[in-house]
Amino acid sequence: MSTQQLIIFIGMVAFIAFGVWLQFRMKFDIKENEREYNKKFHEWIKAHPNRSNSLGYTHKEKENVKEEA
């Protein structure tokens, strides 16, 4: 292998490794942002019930209902 081919090969391997790292990084960042967005959206629905109902978003609180047999 010539020096030029070796440099190109190392560059390609580094580029592929960076691409794989970037994909995993983006995947985890997207999941984290989605959780944060859902939390803020949930808080907005609770704070603005009339507006959220008119837009079609509903938030139903879980009730502690004990069924007696």
The pLDDT profile of the chain, 69 residues, written as one tens digit per residue, is 799 999 999 999 999 999 999 998 888 888 888 888 888 888 888 888 888 888 877 766 655 445 544
* Core vs surface per residue 21-43: b (16+ CB within 10 A) or e: eeeeeeeeeeeeeeeeeeeeeee
Q: Is the pTM higher than 0.75?
A: no
CA distance 10 to 40: 45
User: How far does CA 21 lie from the centroid of its chain?
Assistant: 17
pLDDT for res 27: 85
